[in-house]
Amino acid sequence: MTLLRILATAFALGVAALSVQAAPLRIVIDEGVIEPLPFAVPNFIAENGGAEQYARDIARVVAADLAGTGLFREIGSDAFISGVTSFDAPVAYNDWQAINAQALITGAVQASGDQIVVKFRLFDVFSGQQLGEGLQFAGTPSSWRRMAHKVADAAYSRITGEGGYFDSRVVYVAESGPKNQRLKRLAVMDYDGANIQYLTDSSSIVLAPRFSPTGDRILFTSYASGFPRIYVMDVGSLRTRGLDEQPGTMTFAPRFSPDGNTVVFSLEQGGNSDIYTLDIGSGGLRQLTNAPSIETGPSYSPDGSQIVFESDRSGTQQLYIMSAGGGEPRRISNGQGRYGTPVWSPRGDLIAFTKQNEGRFHIGVMRVQGDEERLLTSSFLDEGPTWAPNGRVIMFTRETAGASGQAGLYSVDISGRNLRQITTEGAASDPAWSPLLP
Amino acid sequence: MSTGTIISGAGHAGLILWVLLGDLLFSPQPAPEIQVASVSLVSASQFDAMVAAAPARPAPAPEPPVTPDAPAVVAPDPITPELPQPEANPEPVALPEPPPDLPPDVPTSPEPQPVPAPDPVAPLAAEEQPIPVPTTTQRPKPRPIDRVAPTPVDEIADAPEVAETPTPAVSDQPAPEAEVVPEDVPEAAPEEAATQIITEAVETEQDAPQLAMTSSRRPQARPEPVADAPIDDPAPAVAEPTDTQDVEADAIAAALAEAMSETPAEDNGVQDAPTGPPMTGGEIDGLRVAIKTCWNVGALSSSALRTVITVRVDLAESGVPDVGSIRLTGFEGGTDADATKVFQAARSAISRCGRNGFPLPPEKYDTWKDLELVFDPNGMRMR
């Protein structure tokens, strides 16, 4: 009987061992770190003569783009243990892991005649894997910076999951002269301040330039006629024409609709300002608001169905949303102070604005319902936000106090981090960000 | 009284007397001695697996068993970077068409570079190189124990004896081998071998082949003369039946464990249940802290930060994660693209912080060798 017990026990053990499936040890990780991701960009490989300078410069632009977001931290080349000698050489992951480079971008450039070809690969160093496929771009030598921006956009997008914004432009008002006699003209530059081109002279005051959805036209307000009037400029040819003028009126604060066929703006008549739309093709004019208050600063939602604008109908400047076809607006701003210059995010989830409260100016964002208001900046004078194409970064004007105060362009992440000044030639204001270039 | 009554009464009386006094008057015949031998009960599939594995195990130096990690340890794919393809719409500003695809890239041989101590999960070379499978010597050595047997038992002799003794009970083959067996059995070798089974882990090279059952060593028949010889010699064992039986019960359990651990899980499709004690809260927290310090979500989009993912990873006994085993097994709260980005960050965190092994108790390896990690970034997103 004892032997039977032994056998039965052994059998039961065997059956139990065979039948029980091991459950993995389950652990929940609900906390991590938020810090710039270390990355390395060795100089790109020059695959033929004449490509050496491009290879170095493109790598530098890529690194600057990523580091400029505040989400990435470049590891300098002096820390590299090994370099990249060939575009197709296997990656010595151990060497990059040793310097804690979590992402690695390798690339190569070929330059021949009137064309250069840029190709790159992105690697997840600690996983020992390539992220996505390699890409290559071809273009004229003069567009080497754009290709560098496209490489950076691809790397940014693959790591963050968001669209990039580096291959884009910013139109702004370039200022010069003393504060009481400012000379202003329109200028366009790459988003990082490179390749500045002036679109107008400084013979008349210009304000509030805005890109079309395709980036080929610019709306702006000019005092060329002695009164503020809206003009549209073709960026390629610089041909400019004024929109239909209503006698006895002033028009300003124009913006394109998302489809580029309509312009929404403010029209002032008899001391009262309301929101209007103008069909560019037909010239048809339509009044959207009709109130004995000042309504201005309209901005379309990305789907074109709604318009946010500022109005003092409640006694102070506040933000309102109404249907794109007009109708009863609803107020969305509820905090202390005055709100103005609203701009709808390209993602459609947030509205950026300028807020003045207790002698300070702020750039802030809020949800379209008006809740979750967050102030991103605070200074003597911050105003006029514009969104990056991916809806993650805001550029605005900051002016310093005093007689020698000067306006400059700054950018900030929507988290409020990474406040940076954009380098321009002289003073600058009223930025407007283009969409991503094709 | 009638004759029938007398006879009936006598018969009943005799019956009663027999019942009452039978034990005293009629001693039972001693039952034939039952041979007691160590038996390891395994399932048919396990036995088949051991038979199949037996030829590959040379007695002195068995090959390391194929573990479930082996497939993951197989040399990873060589790094053959994808040929960059021109984007469908990358052309900036009315540019000419991109050049035709470059010819497929052939991975070049790796440059000889001094590399620090190889990371078991770090693929380096373009050429496939088998990553050495950990040898049994890397496993924890069993603790030295006091053998019950007064003298060491011949290792080679033990194995066939252990394997053969159960077979006579079921086989009908003639006896020549069986004749050998019964002579050895009474020498208490089975007991000592059983003791050895208890105390020595199968992982040692010396023990593994002895404790593994092989078909070639199975006896073929019940020995006919077994009844005489074993009756005498097992007397010492009979004298201490309790100890022997307890020892044998332990031996059975140990043999089961040995058999299960030796048998590849992939052969029978069953994973071993954790045999070690459960992880303490402190140990789990230590692992959690070790991973979260490397889990960098700063670059993730706001939508990705709303995505909760579940990741599985296998760990080596050193606590180093098998990078090739890191896999996404589920997600919720976001899109596929969001989950991919969160997974990339999680994979990097596991790889980075696990390079030198996570701080885990080796004796609980069976508990933590397979991890399921849930990464929930909701608490860190900007609201």
pLDDT of residue B303: 85
Q: Is B43 in CB contact (< 8 Å) with chain A?
A: yes
pLDDT of residue A22: 63
Average pLDDT rounded to a whole number, residues B27-51: 62
Q: Is B364 in CB contact (< 8 Å) with chain A?
A: no
Q: Which of residues 292-321 of A touch B (CB under 8 A)?
A: none
pLDDT of residue B256: 55
B205 band by pLDDT with thresholds 50, 70 and 90: very low
CA distance A267 to A250: 6
Across the interface, whether the CB atoms of B352 and A126 are under 8 A apart is answered yes
The answer on pLDDT for A137 being more than 70 is: yes
Average pLDDT rounded to a whole number, residues A177-204: 89
pLDDT of residue B171: 42
> Between A153 and A112, whose confidence is greater?
A153
Per CB-CB distance under 8 Å, the chain A contacts of B326 are: 127
The answer on pLDDT for B347 being more than 50 is: yes
Per CB-CB distance under 8 Å, the chain B contacts of A33 are: 292-298
Q: What is the least distance, in Å, from the CA of A255 to any CA of chain B? A: 24
> Between A413 and B48, whose confidence is greater?
A413
> In Å, how far are A29, A64, B273 from B276, measured between CA atoms?
24, 52, 9
**Residue A240 structure tokens:** 């400019």
Residue at A221: amino acid letter: T
Per CB-CB distance under 8 Å, the chain B contacts of A438 are: 89, 91-93
Q: Are B179 and B222 in contact (CB under 8 A)?
A: no
Q: What is the least distance, in Å, from the CA of A261 to any CA of chain B? A: 23
Tell me which of A99-103, B198-202, B316-320, B351-355 is least confident: B198-202
Q: Is B72 in CB contact (< 8 Å) with chain A?
A: no
Across the interface, whether the CB atoms of B36 and A11 are under 8 A apart is answered no
A63 band by pLDDT with thresholds 50, 70 and 90: very high
CA distance B229 to B8: 48
Q: What is the least distance, in Å, from the CA of B149 to any CA of chain A? A: 22
Architecture of domain A169-433: 6 Propeller (2.120)
Across the interface, whether the CB atoms of B296 and A94 are under 8 A apart is answered no
**A85, A133, A138 ranked by CB distance to B95: nearest:** A138
Q: Are strands A330-331 and A318-323 parallel, antiparallel or unpaired?
A: antiparallel
Q: Which of residues 146-185 of A touch B (CB under 8 A)?
A: 146-147, 150, 159-162, 167
CA distance B76 to B94: 42
CA distance B285 to B331: 23
Q: Are strands A407-413 and A420-422 parallel, antiparallel or unpaired?
A: antiparallel
DSSP letter (8 states) at residue B53 = H
Per CB-CB distance under 8 Å, the chain B contacts of A163 are: none
Average pLDDT rounded to a whole number, residues A85-107: 94
The answer on pLDDT for B166 being more than 50 is: no
Per CB-CB distance under 8 Å, the chain A contacts of B301 are: 160-162, 392
CA distance A52 to B112: 26
- Closest chain A residue by Cα to residue B322: A127
pLDDT of residue A301: 97
**A88, A134, A138 ranked by CB distance to B99: nearest:** A138
Across the interface, whether the CB atoms of A134 and B84 are under 8 A apart is answered yes
Counting one residue from A and one from B, how many pairs have CB atoms under 8 Å apart? 275
**A27, A93, A128 ranked by CB distance to B284: nearest:** A27
Whole-number mean pLDDT of chain A?
Answer: 92
Average pLDDT rounded to a whole number, residues A321-334: 95
> Between B292 and B203, whose confidence is greater?
B292
**B105, B122, B245 ranked by CB distance to A2: nearest:** B245
Architecture of domain B281-380: 2-Layer Sandwich (3.30)
Q: Is B126 in CB contact (< 8 Å) with chain A?
A: yes
B326 band by pLDDT with thresholds 50, 70 and 90: very high
Average pLDDT rounded to a whole number, residues B13-35: 73
Q: Is B143 in CB contact (< 8 Å) with chain A?
A: no
**Residue A391 structure tokens:** 């809806």
pLDDT of residue A227: 85
Q: Is B284 in CB contact (< 8 Å) with chain A?
A: yes
Across the interface, whether the CB atoms of A10 and B92 are under 8 A apart is answered no
pLDDT of residue A405: 82
Per CB-CB distance under 8 Å, the chain A contacts of B271 are: 21-22
Q: What is the least distance, in Å, from the CA of A388 to any CA of chain B? A: 15
- Provide CATH code, domain A37-160: 3.40.50.10070
Per CB-CB distance under 8 Å, the chain A contacts of B39 are: 7, 10
Per-position DSSP letters for A5-63, written without gaps between them: HHHHHHHHHHHHHHHPPPPPEEEEE---B--PEEEE-PPPEE-STT-HHHHHHHHHHHH
**B105, B253, B374 ranked by CB distance to A26: nearest:** B374
> In Å, how far are A321, A355, A356, A373, B332 from A336, measured between CA atoms?
19, 9, 9, 11, 38
Q: Is B378 in CB contact (< 8 Å) with chain A?
A: yes
The answer on pLDDT for B319 being more than 50 is: yes
Q: Which residues touch B33 (CB under 8 Å, ≥6 apart)?
A: B227, B230, B231, B234, B238
CA distance B301 to A226: 47
Per CB-CB distance under 8 Å, the chain B contacts of A137 are: 86-87, 90-92, 98
Q: Are A361 and A354 in contact (CB under 8 A)?
A: yes
Q: Which residues touch A160 (CB under 8 Å, ≥6 apart)?
A: A71, B299, B300, B301, B304, B341
Q: Are B360 and B315 in contact (CB under 8 A)?
A: yes
Per CB-CB distance under 8 Å, the chain A contacts of B190 are: none
pLDDT of residue A266: 94
Q: What is the least distance, in Å, from the CA of B251 to any CA of chain A? A: 10
Across the interface, whether the CB atoms of A32 and B349 are under 8 A apart is answered yes
Per CB-CB distance under 8 Å, the chain B contacts of A147 are: 92
Tens of pLDDT, residue by residue over B232-244, are: 443 444 444 445 5
> Between A436 and B116, whose confidence is greater?
A436
The answer on pLDDT for A437 being more than 60 is: yes
Q: What is the least distance, in Å, from the CA of B321 to any CA of chain A? A: 11
Q: Are strands A37-40 and A72-74 parallel, antiparallel or unpaired?
A: parallel
Per CB-CB distance under 8 Å, the chain A contacts of B382 are: 414-415
**Residue A157 structure tokens:** 């997008």
Q: Is A29 in CB contact (< 8 Å) with chain B?
A: yes
Strand partners, A175: A184, A427
Q: Is B376 in CB contact (< 8 Å) with chain A?
A: yes
Tell me which of A389-393, B99-103, B140-144, B342-346 is least confident: B99-103
Provide the ipTM. 0.76
Q: Which of residues 104-123 of A touch B (CB under 8 A)?
A: 115, 117, 119-121
Instruction: Using alpha carbons only, give the angle A201, A203, A205 rounded to the nearest 5 degrees.
Output: 95
Percent of chain B at pLDDT > 70 equals 34
- Tokens 């470049």: give the residue: A74
Q: Is B79 in CB contact (< 8 Å) with chain A?
A: yes
Q: Are A332 and A364 in contact (CB under 8 A)?
A: no
pLDDT of residue B379: 85
Q: Is A371 in CB contact (< 8 Å) with chain B?
A: no
Per CB-CB distance under 8 Å, the chain B contacts of A36 are: 298-299
The answer on pLDDT for A61 being more than 90 is: yes
Q: Are A331 and A349 in contact (CB under 8 A)?
A: no
A302 band by pLDDT with thresholds 50, 70 and 90: very high
A373 band by pLDDT with thresholds 50, 70 and 90: very high
Average pLDDT rounded to a whole number, residues A213-236: 91
Residue ranges matching CATH 3.30.1150.10 in chain B: 281-380
CA distance B83 to B98: 14
Q: Is B110 in CB contact (< 8 Å) with chain A?
A: yes
Across the interface, whether the CB atoms of A88 and B81 are under 8 A apart is answered yes
Whole-number mean pLDDT of chain B?
Answer: 61
**A28, A32, A134 ranked by CB distance to B82: nearest:** A134
| Phi, psi for residue A97 in degrees, rounded to 5 | -65, -35
Q: How far is CA A324 from the centre of its chain?
A: 24
> Between B97 and B374, whose confidence is greater?
B374
Residue spans of the domains in chain A: they are 37-160, 169-433
Q: Are strands A103-112 and A37-40 parallel, antiparallel or unpaired?
A: parallel
The answer on pLDDT for B160 being more than 50 is: no
Per CB-CB distance under 8 Å, the chain B contacts of A98 are: 116
Q: What is the least distance, in Å, from the CA of B73 to any CA of chain A? A: 15
Per CB-CB distance under 8 Å, the chain A contacts of B83 are: 134
The answer on pLDDT for A353 being more than 90 is: yes
> Between B111 and A312, whose confidence is greater?
A312
B209 band by pLDDT with thresholds 50, 70 and 90: very low
pLDDT of residue A248: 78
Average pLDDT rounded to a whole number, residues A91-117: 94
Tell me which of A139-153, A366-380, B85-99 is least confident: B85-99
> Between A391 and B107, whose confidence is greater?
A391
Q: Is A6 in CB contact (< 8 Å) with chain B?
A: yes
Instruction: Find, among A250, A248, A293, the residue nearest to A274 by Cα.
Output: A293
Across the interface, whether the CB atoms of A143 and B92 are under 8 A apart is answered yes
What long-range pairs does A316-323 form, CB within 8 A, spacing at least 24?
A319/A351, A319/A353, A319/A370, A320/A295, A321/A368, A322/A288, A322/A289
Tell me which of B105-114, B144-153, B295-304 is least confident: B105-114
Instruction: Using alpha carbons only, give the angle B78, B81, B82 rounded to the nearest 5 degrees.
Output: 125
Across the interface, whether the CB atoms of A161 and B341 are under 8 A apart is answered yes
The answer on pLDDT for B180 being more than 70 is: no
